[in-house]
Chain A
């Protein structure tokens, strides 16, 4: 709290005081009061006035300085009400009381919103589980009745993939309790993803070349499957020419494991490359292929962030796309454990 600003605020009362003072001074002169008495009177007036003035200033300064300092230091500024000592002046009391009420009503509002988001999330999760039942039914039907066109199965798979995306989007946004870190074999995880995409890969004549070390990393298996599945799906969707392939390799370097997924598809233009992990970004390829939602890589990267993995993408338009997932071996989780 600045003293000058405070004085400026109280300019009127200072001016009024001096008017009073000069008025009395004039009366004293008119009545020819001795000089010493005038001096004593002046000093007395000044002392009293300054005292009341400074007293008020310092007790307010104490309160407001505390307020400003606490607000500056807190990262959750709304908690400042809890840190204040009760002010010993009326305005301050009013101010704190109202601040408290405002805070309370805002917290209630936020809680209500949070609850409704939580409800919505629960509903979406439940809905997804329900939606998977008819999808499973349809998949089985296609298999049991070979006369049904293969194209139907393709569409069912697309549908399933979109449904899955919603599930992991919800999870990546509110993921406090939904994951479980354990040792996962990269080979086994890739096998699951490969089996899931087998028909698509064979149909599109894309060779899957997996040559990896048998390493175990710590992660949530389902999440990682989803992430890798998104990358493979993209590679299938944006395949380019004949002799298409998806190459999957690992690379061990000290405490880090790199999982490298490379394809020879249409690639990503250098101007789009920095933006591929942004929400709803579809870019040039997305405009060519109407199927893009721009959510796949966004969700994959936010899941990676939550799991503590790194995802990088490198590409040359028309030549290749290379996605690298980086996992730390045990050190990080050993500390956390």
Chain B
């Protein structure tokens, strides 16, 4: 299980972030002692840091700069500062992403996933059972057989695959599609999913995407 470290001095946000990340299946820790934040961070062996810029003692940017001297752990800066200058500064100090408050929680989770995906290279879940997923070609491959998927279907399938066996909400799928510049509406999502189901059925996988009423979809 991935461990995420939260460096945020506002107790309300910290608690909600913890809840959000726990729900999403991450292990969560947070920094309480900001005076010795750097040592805590270096000792924590977290897989990702979520860092606020306005924190007591050393501010986030400086903390990041010091932290980067000793560790390559991915860092996402969370901030209410909305100037381009702050973003550029954070990025040059070695942040991997920069998200402005108030952030959309679904998007935040997506960004976190993306960073983990990037960190692990391209080997992220490229097989479903005996089927190889080739997103760059837009096909599923089993032996010599190939199944062509449209871009939208591929995004949906990959997202379901990355969350194999867990329920994925329509909102999450929608966020992922929009994040990939596919601005589709609710009807189109339904159509895409039923088309994907039909294609998979014709490929020999019937009923692998189940609908959980009021919750979302699950890939079995």
Contact = CB atoms under 8 A, between A and B. Distances in A.
A196 B84 contact: no
A191 B181 contact: yes
A144 B21 CA distance: 10
A113 interface: no
Contacts of B101: 132-133, 135-136
B105 A143 contact: yes
Given A136-B101, A179-B84, A180-B85, A144 B179 contact: no
B35 interface: no
Interface of B is mostly: helix
Interface string B102-131: 111111000000000000000000000000
A302 B88 CA distance: 24
B83 A178 contact: yes
B16 interface: yes
Contacts of A286: none
Bin chain A's interface residue count.
35 or more
Interface of A is mostly: helix
B174 A198 contact: yes
B178 A198 contact: yes
B22 to A, nearest CB: 10
B105 A139 contact: yes
Contacts of A223: 84
A22 to B, nearest CB: 83
Nearest to B177: A198
Contacts of B183: 194, 207-210
A263 interface: no
Nearest to A134: B12
Output the residue of B88, B102, B103 with the most chain A CB within 10 A.
B102
Interface string B58-89: 00000000000000000000001111110110
Contacts of B174: 198, 202
A137 interface: yes
A330 interface: no
Contacts of B102: 132, 135-136, 138-139, 156, 160
A222 interface: yes
Contacts of A195: 104, 107, 175, 178-179
Nearest to B105: A143
B112 to A, nearest CB: 14
Nearest to A191: B181
Contact of A187 (B19, B81, B83, B181): B181
Contacts of A220: 84
B181 to A, nearest CB: 6
A212 to B, nearest CB: 10
A198 B84 contact: no
B181 A141 contact: no
B136 interface: no
Interface in B89-107: 101-107
B90 to A, nearest CB: 13
Nearest to B10: A133
Contacts of B81: 129
A208 to B, nearest CB: 4
Given A139-B104, A141-B16, 6 more contacts: A136-B102, A137-B12, A139-B105, A195-B178, A221-B84, A223-B84
18 contacts: A132-B101, A136-B103, A137-B13, A140-B13, A140-B16, A144-B20, A178-B83, A179-B84, A180-B85, A195-B107, A198-B178, A202-B186, A209-B183, A210-B181, A210-B183, A221-B84, A222-B87, A223-B84
Interface of A: 128-130, 132-141, 143-144, 156, 160, 164, 167, 178-180, 182, 187, 191, 194-196, 198-199, 202, 205, 207-210, 220-223
